[in-house]
A and B are shown apart, each in its own frame.
Chain A
Amino acid sequence: MSAFPWLTTLGVLPLLGSIVVALLPKSKPTLAKQVALAVSFIVLGGTVAMALQFDGSSTAPFQFVESYPWIPAFGISYSVGLDGIGLVLVALAATLVPIVILAGWRDIEGDQESEGSVKGYFALILALEALMIGVFSATDVFLFYVFFEVMLVPVYFMIGRYGGPQRSYAAIKFLLYSLLGGLFMLASLIGLYVVSARELGTGTFDFLSLVGLDMDPNTQKMLFLGFFFAFAIKAPLWPFHTWLPDAAAQSKPGTSVLLIGVLDKVGTFGMIRYCLPIFPAASEFYAPVVIGMALIGIFYGAYVALTASDMKRLFAYSSMSHFGFIALGIFVFTSAGQSGSVVYMVAHGLSTAALFLTAGFLMSRRRESALISDYGGVNKVAPVLAGFFLVAALSSLALPGLVSFVGEFLVLLGAFERFLWVGAVATLGIVITAAYVLRLYQKSMTGPVNPSVEGITDLKGREITALVPIAALTITLGFYPAPLLNVINPAVDWTMSTISAVDPDPVLSSEGGQQ
């Protein structure tokens, strides 16, 4: 425990930054961007400083804990704290925000379509950062819900005001889907309060108290659905995914990175943080259904990605396939699977960022066309760009030596340990992933130079600066994932022990290791 209110500070900083940026005069867009970048770097610095103080050997479920009463009449408090899972996701958010700001430096000015001002976009990014930090660190379920819902507002405007021609449709679809999920979660939330009031005498929303409840399985099954529905829309799992391709296709690259790279992780984070510990019996009960949805998602997403003609939609469907893997890892109830899921979340955040940003840089040179057929032979005219694209693509297909491999490997290992056939089926998904990723690279980057990309310039200093850290992290954590796993494992162990899940006999795990 630390006396310094790390999390509140980290949450308030970008919020203040957002207000400052919004108040700057419209005539000074550069100043707005500089302020936004500076704030995001301060937040990143603060996050690193906080992460260094994180005690991996601590037995307390949460660190950097703060708690103040908010609406004591209903047992609602402003309580924040981090476990290893929350920490890596906060760190992911804090890392990606400055990169997105840097990468999106010129995205708004050049765009005649956008309705909003330049400073508005960057103010929204910072506001979103504050909420992302809040949502991953809330330890009061009501507070989590509030962040979960309020987060929709900046994203809605980021899609709806700064995007492609169909942005308004995409933004509404995103909003309505998310609101619907949120309403069901709210209903479940009230149900949880009711249960806690009956069991503890006074109702509460405190996460740890709710985990300690002895709820009867039928109640669990009902309440689980509300939460899971919201998370499955957010993550998104098949069949709740249809908003994602539209949102991704209409958004600015930076918006997509934050939306798919970080925000959608709230869904999978919610499953591992809330669904499992609070509703252990229900999680077990529904696990076959969820695993089924995950498997369908893996294949369906990959299959559509294989046939996609639009790069952004391809990335969206590929993400859906990856979310299938993440959900799979969570619901096989093994430590390997769950650790793998969390690593996968980070890895997917990084690879999504690399893909969307590199593709964004490419599209900005080619009048924003996202059609794969408009490209070809880029590696001859812009080798650096093609190089980064290759790293991103390989990271997406989980090449050994890259961080996504660690995640995917652990998830499959976990799946094999629990259900042999599930692991076997999921492994086939990797093949399709390789196929669509390589097809994309081959069609767009190699081959004869497409006339329309002739004479395009290669990446410039700012763009390279934005991509280097992602590539560096992808490779470093791929070869040396220990720092990541060291903070994640205790949190996963805690989750496993609260749901009293035991890893199966490790006979099969050696098999998994060989594949």
Chain B
Amino acid sequence: MNYTPPALDYAALAPMIVIFAAAIISVLVEAFTPRGVRRYLQLLIVFGALIASGVLIVLNAGTRTVTAGQAVVIDGPALVLQGAIVILAILGAALMAERSIDSVGDAFASRVSSLPGSEEEKQFTQRGYLQTEIWPLTLFAVLGMMLFVSANDLLLMFVALEVMSLPLYLMTGMARRRRLLSQEAALKYFLLGAFSSAFFLYGAALVYGYSGSITFPEIAQTITSKPGESLVLMIGLGMILIGLLFKVGAVPFHQWVPDVYQGAPTPVTGFMAATVKIAAFGALLRLLYVAFGGVRWDWEPIIWIVAILTMLIGSIVAVVQTDIKRMLAYSSVAQAGFILIGVAAASPAGIASTMFYLIAYGFTTIGAFAIIAMIRDANGEATNLASWAGIGRKSPIVASAFAIFMLGLAGIPLTSGFVGKFAVFAAAIEAGMVWLVIVGVVASLIAAFFYVRVIVVMFFAQPTEQTASVAIPSAFTTVALAAGVAVTVILGVVPQPVLDLVTNADVFIR
């Protein structure tokens, strides 16, 4: 039997190929170039590749194709989400490239392999070594995410999941300060992530056993042609869902979120919070809508329950957090719940609103973490809410930017967060899910409490000795921050162009 390689549509795959090539070059740079020039080469490669990939995605606008032997789909949702991932990755990379706000260098351990607190570590720090391994990892993670949202079969989806996740596990453990916390977070993330991957894989195997195929359209066909319930299919779908809901941080698979968000270097947290959510929700949407659209009535209740739990538990637990990173972590859990409302709608409007929400959320979150990285005291970042007291008086501009992000996350009108929430609520209403929306509104009210509380602490509390100071960032963070503020406000005031964009791109290739 002759092996015929699958035909590849290089034009459609070009955005991913660019990132893949750049990632490999980036590894080689790490191995073969002298320490002094590495940073410049890496920055050139990373930003060059991301921008080039972004341009290629724009050029691909309107493409609808299935390629690589049914494994990869490039359609409207894939392009929109890939575009969002790439742009947010540029902002995330800008945060990682920042070297002005920490007096010692950047946010990453000089040498990750050195034991925390050891003589070796001290030596590296004293010599001022700064590592650049973060860059190839970032590129691989981005590649995984882009593939994740365009994967059209279970196997490729799994591969993409791993390509995305493995670098992120490593990046989580790279924090320069509070290294034990960071490494603990990385290990936790890795173990739980590996566990959830195993669920995904086992689920995929069961679904293959049921349908005899791993590609989504064929699974869908089998489901429609075989009437009646199938236990194998249900268990398989449930396990796959566990894998994906773990990645989006939905309750009850959210336990890793606060630890990882808190332990990871803040620029990585921002990058991860924004992009992983997009990638995972993109994959979830495609999987549920394309492959399992036929058993909608079976998975909708699951998504309902998970959405309600996620919104409520995320919001309620966030209220009692005193660490700002943990608070944002629970907030991200709550936000995942709101996005799940859009997923549950199971309609084109659901796809469009989910995508809008993801974009809005990504920019706001990355901006918020950019600021968290800037608020510092002698020990590094000051993430305790108490040390944010009165920051608004010391640095009104930075505090105002953070206030805008908080209002955006709370979903106050004139911010992107409101439009996003409204869009998913409207989609759910259209699908007849009034109760889900009522729970969503209640959860929003609870959530507004802790977002507004941060604003109150920043502006209305008197500064104390504990109050942290705001480091002056370089152009990298400034640009990312400005982009975050701009998008949060613009998508809130004139959202129609982006709403049109996502509405025009709300059809999957089935």
Contact = CB atoms under 8 A, between A and B. Distances in A.
B448 interface: yes
B412 A149 contact: yes
Contacts of A145: 413
A183 B445 contact: yes
Contact of B426 (A146, A172, A179, A193): A193
Contact of B413 (A73, A146, A172, A203): A146
Contacts of B328: none
A71 B490 CA distance: 12
A194 B429 contact: yes
A450 interface: no
Contacts of A203: 426, 429
A186 B413 contact: yes
B456 interface: yes
Contact of B429 (A179, A186, A198): A198
A197 interface: yes
B460 A197 contact: no
Interface in B354-378: none
Interface in B395-434: 412-414, 419, 422-423, 425-426, 429-430, 434
B501 to A, nearest CB: 11
Nearest to B418: A186
B43 interface: no
Contact of A197 (B419, B429, B442, B496): B429
Contacts of B422: 74, 190, 193
A483 interface: no
Interface in A113-163: 142, 145-146, 149-150
Contacts of A187: 441-442, 444-445
A187 B411 CA distance: 11
A149 B426 contact: no
Nearest to A197: B429
B497 to A, nearest CB: 11
B309 interface: no
Nearest to A182: B412
Nearest to A203: B426
Nearest to B452: A179
B423 A73 contact: yes
A319 B426 CA distance: 41
B47 to A, nearest CB: 34
A286 to B, nearest CB: 21
A446 interface: no
Contacts of B198: none
B290 to A, nearest CB: 24
Contacts of A176: 452, 456
A146 B442 CA distance: 20
A347 B493 CA distance: 36
Nearest to B441: A187
B495 interface: yes
B150 to A, nearest CB: 26
Contacts of A194: 425, 429, 434, 437
Nearest to A72: B496
A76 to B, nearest CB: 9
Contacts of A142: 413
A183 B413 contact: no
Interface string A157-188: 00000000000100010001001000110110
A71 B496 contact: yes
Contacts of B423: 73-74
Contacts of B460: 168, 172
Contacts of B414: 146, 150
A417 B18 CA distance: 80
Contacts of B434: 194
Nearest to B496: A71
Interface residues of A, number: 26
B51 interface: no
B499 interface: yes
A14 to B, nearest CB: 19
B503 interface: yes
Interface residues of B, number: 25
A247 to B, nearest CB: 15
| Central interface residue in A71, A73, A149, A203, by most chain B CB within 10 Å | A73
Contacts of B495: 71, 73
A186 B425 CA distance: 13
Contact of A74 (B426, B442, B445): B426
Interface string A186-211: 11001101100110000100000000
Nearest to A168: B460
B437 A73 contact: no
Interface string A68-104: 0111111000000000000000000000000000000
Contact of B419 (A71, A193, A198): A71
Contacts of A184: 445
Contacts of B445: 183-184, 187
A198 B495 CA distance: 24
A83 to B, nearest CB: 24
Contact of A73 (B412, B441, B503): B503
A70 B497 CA distance: 11
A306 B499 CA distance: 57
B412 to A, nearest CB: 7
| Central interface residue in B414, B422, B452, by most chain A CB within 10 Å | B422
Interface in A346-386: none
Interface string B441-458: 110110010001000100
A508 to B, nearest CB: 44
Contacts of B499: 71, 73
Nearest to A146: B413
| Central interface residue in A70, A74, A149, by most chain B CB within 10 Å | A74
Contacts of A190: 422, 425, 437, 441
Nearest to A74: B422
B413 A149 contact: yes
Interface in B452-510: 452, 456, 460, 495-496, 499-500, 503
Nearest to A143: B413
Contacts of A191: 441
A190 B499 CA distance: 18
Contacts of B456: 172, 176
Contact of B496 (A73, A168, A172): A73
A183 B450 CA distance: 13
Contacts of B413: 142, 145-146, 149, 186
A190 B426 CA distance: 9
A197 B445 CA distance: 22
A74 B500 CA distance: 12
B430 A197 contact: yes
A146 B422 CA distance: 15
Contacts of A73: 423, 495-496, 499-500, 503
A73 B503 CA distance: 10
Interface string B143-176: 0000000000000000000000000000000000
Contacts of B437: 190, 194
A183 B448 contact: yes
B455 to A, nearest CB: 9
Nearest to B495: A71
A187 B412 CA distance: 11
| Central interface residue in A150, A186, A191, by most chain B CB within 10 Å | A186
Interface string B236-276: 00000000000000000000000000000000000000000
Given A172-B456, A176-B452, A194-B434, 20 more contacts: A71-B495, A71-B496, A71-B499, A73-B499, A73-B503, A74-B419, A74-B423, A146-B414, A149-B413, A150-B414, A172-B460, A184-B445, A186-B412, A187-B442, A187-B445, A190-B425, A190-B437, A194-B429, A197-B426, A197-B430
Q: 7 shortest A-B CB distances, which residue pairs?
A: A172-B460, A73-B499, A187-B441, A194-B429, A197-B429, A146-B413, A183-B448
24 contacts: A69-B496, A71-B419, A71-B495, A72-B496, A73-B423, A73-B496, A73-B503, A74-B426, A168-B460, A176-B452, A176-B456, A179-B452, A184-B445, A186-B413, A187-B445, A190-B441, A191-B441, A193-B426, A193-B429, A194-B425, A194-B429, A194-B434, A197-B426, A198-B429
